[in-house]
Structure 1
Amino acid sequence: MTLATALKTGDLTQLPSRRDEDWRWTDLRGLVRTLPPVSPEFFDTIKAGGPFEGLAEAELVIANGRANWWPGEDTDTVEFAHHDAPDNPYDPVDLPMATLAADKAIEPRASIITFTGSDIASIRFVSATDGTSHHARFGVVVEAGVSAVLLESHEGRGDRYLANTLVEIFLEEGAKLERIVIADDAAEAFAVTTAIVNLAPGATFNQTVLTAGARRQRIETRVNHPGAHASVRLDGAYVLANQRHADQTTVVTHGGVDGITSQLTKGVVDDQARGVFQGRIVVQPGADQTDARMGHHALILSDKAEVDAKPELLIFADDVACAHGNTIGALDDEQIFYARQRGIPEAEAKAMLTQAFLGEVVERIEHEGAREIAAAWVAAKLGRGE
């Protein structure tokens, strides 16, 4: 059976598995044999707020794959629209879950937010269902010269659901977008989010992804980088416990001269949880004077926890400055000892040290309100151990 046929029939036996190099640590095929039934419409209106409550005037809620709530009127700087028949340009071999989201998104096929002026908008993907599946497609356009903030949350209010989301982002010349994502999926959920980011010359894209994982979770970001003085920052933090799994995968393709990419991902993994980081930076022929740097660092707090990391630099140009680093280890026993000598209980000392470890990622968030919420989110996850 071809993958195209599999997508149409809902038979997922051809979807990614450990045999696929980019999915070898996040096996979907072994756990999801057939596509669960379509999630029912959630008729109640989701209360405004979410994890970023109070930070954005413009808020869109997509519940079980369907638009659930919007303020009703566009602001002066944010426009909202539906698109019933967007094109589907994705290669299912390269981006199978993005193709599935585009193919099975419920009408209207896509929701689109356009920033015509500097503003903050919130998009909330809510899964209020058990044992069903839903797909959503969401677009973001930031017009030339505009600086905007996108606050994105994935909220699990049911369990055992399959949520698959495609986010397409377009930054026009000189535009700037900071995207901050909090993924709070249910423990037994399957959740995949694929973001495809297209930059024009001189654009700036900054992203921070915070996640607590799920039974299987993958958050993938693909950036088409034009060079041309465009700049990208891709950061992430994962806090995993019990048997949760989180996969943060990124691919940045530099296609032109004078491009910048900075990337920092940190994770803390406890119990029998599993963290996955895959970062790939590609410097195409002719993309000279590229400055690209990537770092991934993880703490393992349990003998049964696991972290798999694969940082890659594929360089086909001259005169570039590219580097990557990767470390995986345990908490420093000496630091714990000194904390205990000062009367701090061991559990509290470990929480303090892990919070400080992840704090470097949080501190890189530019928006002050979002940065404070992110810090509180990390502290809560470390304190609960969920």
Structure 2
Amino acid sequence: MSLRTAIETGDLAELPSRRDEDWRWTDLRGLVRTLPPRSPTNVGPFAPGLFDGLADEVVIVSNGELRTSITLARGEEQVVAVRFIAAADAGAHAAPPRMEVSKGRLVILETYEGLGSGYLSEIDFTLSVKTGGSIERIVLTDEPEDAVSVVRCDVTLEPGASFAQTVIAAGARRQRLETHVAHPGGGASVRLDGVYLLDGRRHADITTVVTHAGVDGTTDQLVKGVVKDQARAVFQGRIIVAHGADKTDARMGHHALVLDDRAEVDAKPELEIYADDVSCAHGNTVGALDEEALFYAEQRGIPHAEARALLTEAFVGEVVDRIEHAGAREIVRAWVAGRLGAAQ
């Protein structure tokens, strides 16, 4: 069951619901009562995107219209801006792009831009990283509060490959950013980071599953978020260490700030370990801003709203600082600061 299948078949019974354990906090069947018509095609042109100036190539997927494959030659480095643009009012669309890295470094600067309203969208994104290759995927969402948006990324690594990801979620009526990684061990490495910044009645769900299938693999995950008003955040992180995946080193951390009484965070970090010789740990905290730090800032003449923004920016800044691409890191840092400042 998936939103994409429902869009393609017109069958609402294909929507995931709270009866599905992995979707219990992001129920779509109880939310979507009718399916809108398919989104129009041949839309555009569009103004330059947030990351266009950093990219060697810009790929635009508008209303699900474009299926693209980018294959890197051995030793090549490339920065690609992939813009998923929803330019429809009350439309529905889906798309399955694919990218493959042979042996090189690919930086994907991926944005989800809602120029319409009330739309349904699912993007299924498939990545394959060969031995010696690496991908850094930076995902930033900027969608309207009434949209329903699902993004699923399936990543397959070969031994000796590396994959790093940073997701920045601003939420929507329902927004789910889901990543599945097939980890082979063999010296392969994975970093899965995330930031969510939610206000109003926005909902964001960051769900990840990493399956370690072989000896000597690493996973490092850090997700931080801030929710206020009546917003709701969901974090589901699962790391599976299969039989025989010895010497796995896997770390997961999720930490959230809740700034209002009616805001909500649902977190479910999980470790499933079926091997003996491993080093695995996870941590999870949900709390409020440090009142002493807030008082300290205000005593030095910083207005209350600005002090809150500075403290929350510093809180999520640890994740932003882990972005490897310097240009993208600075753009994301500025975008986060603007978003937090506007939300105060």
TM-score for both structures, normalised by structure 2: 0.96
User: Is 2:11 the partner of 1:11?
Assistant: yes
- Give, in angstroms, the shift of residue 6 of structure 1: 6.0
- Give, in angstroms, the shift of residue 208 of structure 1: 0.2
Unaligned runs of 5+ in 2: none
- Give, in angstroms, the shift of residue 19 of structure 1: 1.3
Q: Deviations over 1:68-127 (max 9, x none)?
A: xxxxxxxxxxxxxxxxxxxxxxxxxxxxxxxxxxxxxxxxxx321222211111110000
Give the alignment partner of residue 216 of structure 1, picking from 158, 174, 186.
Answer: 174
Instruction: Tell whether the 8 Å contact from 1:11 to 1:33 is kept in structure 2 after alignment.
Output: no
Instruction: Tell whether the 8 Å contact from 1:264 to 1:295 is kept in structure 2 after alignment.
Output: yes
Give the alignment partner of residue 364 of structure 1, picking from 318, 322, 334.
Answer: 322
Instruction: Tell whether the 8 Å contact from 2:165 to 2:191 is kept in structure 1 after alignment.
Output: yes
May I ask how many residue pairs the two structures share in their alignment? 342
Q: 1:188 to 1:7 in 2, by over 3 A?
A: closer
- Give, in angstroms, the shift of residue 18 of structure 1: 1.1
Q: Matches of residues 222-371 of structure 1 in structure 2 within 5 Å?
A: 222-371=180-329
Give the corresponding residue for 2:28. 28
Q: Deviations over 1:142-170 (max 9, x none)?
A: 112x1121110000001100010000000
Give the corresponding residue for 1:138. 97
- Give, in angstroms, the shift of residue 7 of structure 1: 6.9
Q: 1:157 to 1:293 in 2, by over 3 A?
A: same
Q: Report the Cα distance in structure 2 between the residues aligned to 1:11 and 1:383, rounded to whole angstroms.
A: 41
Instruction: Tell whether the 8 Å contact from 2:5 to 2:14 is kept in structure 1 after alignment.
Output: no
- Give, in angstroms, the shift of residue 34 of structure 1: 3.6
DSSP 3-state at the match of 1:344: coil
Instruction: Tell whether the 8 Å contact from 1:285 to 1:317 is kept in structure 2 after alignment.
Output: yes
Instruction: Tell whether the 8 Å contact from 2:80 to 2:109 is kept in structure 1 after alignment.
Output: yes
Give the residue type in structure 2 aligned to 1:113. I
Give the corresponding residue for 1:52. 51
Q: 1:179 to 1:25 in 2, by over 3 A?
A: same
Instruction: Tell whether the 8 Å contact from 2:7 to 2:35 is kept in structure 1 after alignment.
Output: no
Give the alignment partner of residue 196 of structure 1, picking from 151, 154, 160.
Answer: 154
User: Is 2:85 the partner of 1:126?
Assistant: yes
User: Is 2:70 the partner of 1:113?
Assistant: yes
Instruction: Tell whether the 8 Å contact from 1:225 to 1:254 is kept in structure 2 after alignment.
Output: yes
Unaligned runs of 5+ in 1: 68-109
Q: 1:8 to 1:344 in 2, by over 3 A?
A: closer
Larger mean Cα displacement after TM superposition, 341-350 or 361-370? 341-350
Q: Deviations over 1:240-271 (max 9, x none)?
A: 00000000000000000000000000000010
Q: Report the Cα distance in structure 1 between the residues aligned to 2:194 and 2:4, rounded to whole angstroms.
A: 32
DSSP 3-state at the match of 1:54: helix
- Give, in angstroms, the shift of residue 42 of structure 1: 3.6
- Give, in angstroms, the shift of residue 185 of structure 1: 1.1
Larger mean Cα displacement after TM superposition, 314-323 or 342-351? 342-351
Instruction: Tell whether the 8 Å contact from 1:13 to 1:33 is kept in structure 2 after alignment.
Output: no
CA RMSD of aligned residues (A): 1.8
Give the corresponding residue for 1:178. 136
Give the residue type in structure 1 aligned to 2:194. G
- Matched-pair identity in %: 60
In the TM superposition, structure 1's runs of 4+ consecutive aligned residues that sit over 4 Å from their partners are 3-8
Q: 1:263 to 1:65 in 2, by over 3 A?
A: same
Larger mean Cα displacement after TM superposition, 111-120 or 165-174? 111-120
Q: Report the Cα distance in structure 1 between the residues aligned to 2:174 and 2:222, rounded to whole angstroms.
A: 22
DSSP 3-state at the match of 1:33: coil
Instruction: Tell whether the 8 Å contact from 1:191 to 1:217 is kept in structure 2 after alignment.
Output: yes
Give the residue type in structure 2 aligned to 1:66. E
DSSP 3-state at the match of 2:146: coil
Give the corresponding residue for 1:61. 60
Q: Report the Cα distance in structure 1 between the residues aligned to 2:64 and 2:6, rounded to whole angstroms.
A: 21
Q: Deviations over 1:224-255 (max 9, x none)?
A: 00000000000000000000000000000000
- Give, in angstroms, the shift of residue 45 of structure 1: 2.1
Q: Report the Cα distance in structure 1 between the residues aligned to 2:209 and 2:114, rounded to whole angstroms.
A: 27
DSSP 3-state at the match of 2:312: helix
